Amino acid sequence: MTPAGPPPFRNESYTDFSQPVAREAMRAALAGVAGRLGQTYRPWIGGRFRETDGTFDSFNPSRPAQLIGRHGKGSAADAHGAVEAAYAAYPAWSRTPSEERVRLLLRCVEILKRRKLEFNAWLVLESGKSWMEAEADTSEAIDFCGYYARLMLRHASPEPLLQMPGERGHLRYLPLGVGIIIPPWNFPLAILAGMTAAALVAGNTVVIKPSSDTPTIAAMFVEVLAEAGFPGGAYQFLPGPGAAVGDTLVTHPRTRFISFTGSKAVGLRINQLAAQPAPGQIWIKRVIAEMGGKNAIIVDAGADLDAAASGILASAFGYQGQKCSACSRAIADERVYDALVERLAAGAGRLTVGPADDPSYDMGPVINAQAKRTILGYIEQGRKEARLIAGGAAVPGLDGHFIQPTIIADAGPGAIIFREEIFGPVLAVTRARDFDHALALANDTEYGLTGAVYASDPALLRRAEDEFFAGNLYLNRKCTGAMTGCHPFGGFNMSGTDSKAGGPDYLLQYMQAKSIAERLPV
């Protein structure tokens, strides 16, 4: 960082795996990570590694017998100790100049860039991401760290206030305190890095509780924090079960905020627990939550059907539909409905499914055996409610958690597959009478995260801007792939608190404003 500050933010460029050199480098990274599988990782509390009474394992969803990492299982007592350690470190870290915190976060950017293919490999093996999905995840982690570092410099020197005659006034942004970081398994690096980076650069201390499906990736990111030079007490790392560890972290009286991404059920439970003050608690806990969606793509009669089908398929089946932003409902005007369904069925039939470490496949596994059972149950329900036109089963002959890309047409608005978040490679297609009806169907959900409209009439696109109730609306493009700084991300209603990750206001979630006015001498 120069005295004038870092250069302007730019999104990280994606590696082009069509190039032989890039392909060989990625294969080498996978081989390198494969040689490190099965290691044991311990919680990090109070600046040192801690032993635990038990352990748990994470596995490769493409090859469920392959052990990725063994992790110390935290307890309620460990959770209590982690919050106390973060609280003890808070005074020194919160007083660290913002420029120093920014410098450390920019150092994380350098490390993540240097280790990019290595992190890609961990994402492929532990979370079942394809090479390109892993590349997008790691790139987004880099973007979040770089963007929030620059954003902190802006908040460190806020816009001047109007000055009362005879007074000198200014506004300062202060950190909140101890925060709990609870990232999901589907973006185990990007969302973890984003929430952690925002909290730390704002001056808070944190306790990171990773998903039990992807704790090794989280452990690798903790290594990045250490290498970058963040003080050991500023961050704690505590894997463990939600009932014992998560509830203790959320309800602890010294916890000031919880940053969570995951299911609606867990998010609502966190919000409920956080709303109940504990003995000795002197603040209202802040919850920053992103909780999923039942996202729709509308296709109008005048739309480019080839473009619409391509966008729907990419949105529905990228990372096996395991994105909160994924398209799980396609709603088409009845005048083009049959033609769109034909294109969707043909496109899904061309998608290939297999181990995520093999780049010849379009789709990899779902995250675990329970997810596979749940998704297959929804598919069976969908067969009863509507018309199966593609997929509909597990992939035969493979040991991993593989499911065919599945499309169920003629889904009515009362169907379970139209209403409930499935979080898998399942798309419901619904017929609309016209654009008005399509908008009503799209909004007929308790969620409001992403949505898209394919239409050629500018007036319809402007109507969607006003009437399509989603935190992230995309016009004539897919509804996944939000880019930091370009598409601030977060949703309405049961999709969360609309905190807009990767946007100009996001750091304000982790700070509180203090107004200071001084009477000047006469």
Residues involved in catalysis:
290, 324
Query: Do 401 and 367 meet the contact criterion of CB atoms below 8 Å apart?
Result: yes
Q: Distance (Å, rounded) from C-alpha 219 to C-alpha 178?
A: 20
Query: Do 454 and 355 meet the contact criterion of CB atoms below 8 Å apart?
Result: no
- Tell me whether residue 492 is exposed, middle or buried, using C-beta atoms within 10 angstroms of its C-beta: 0 to 12, 13 to 18, 19 or more: middle
Closest CA to 54 of 26, 75, 23: 75
Q: Which two tokens stand for residue 363?
A: 């789709």
Ramachandran assignment for 387, one of left (phi > 0), alpha (psi -120 to 50 degrees), beta (any other): beta
Angle, helices 116-127/98-114, rounded to nearest 10 degrees: 70
Q: Which two tokens stand for residue 53?
A: 């009474």
DSSP 5: B
What is the sign of the dihedral through the CA atoms of 242, 131, 370 and 67?
A: negative
Q: Work out whether strand 426-432 and strand 406-409 pair parallel, antiparallel, or are unpaired.
A: parallel
Q: Distance (Å, rounded) from C-alpha 269 to C-alpha 36?
A: 36
DSSP3 helix / strand / coil % (the chain, rounded to 5): 40, 20, 35
- β strands within 94-225, DSSP E: 167-175, 178-182, 205-208
Which of helix, strand or coil describes residue 116? helix
DSSP 393: S
Q: Which two tokens stand for residue 389?
A: 């036109």
Query: Do 413 and 444 meet the contact criterion of CB atoms below 8 Å apart?
Result: yes
Residue 95's Cβ-side half-sphere holds a number of Cα atoms within 13 Å equal to 4
Residue 423 φ/ψ, nearest 5 degrees: 60, 55
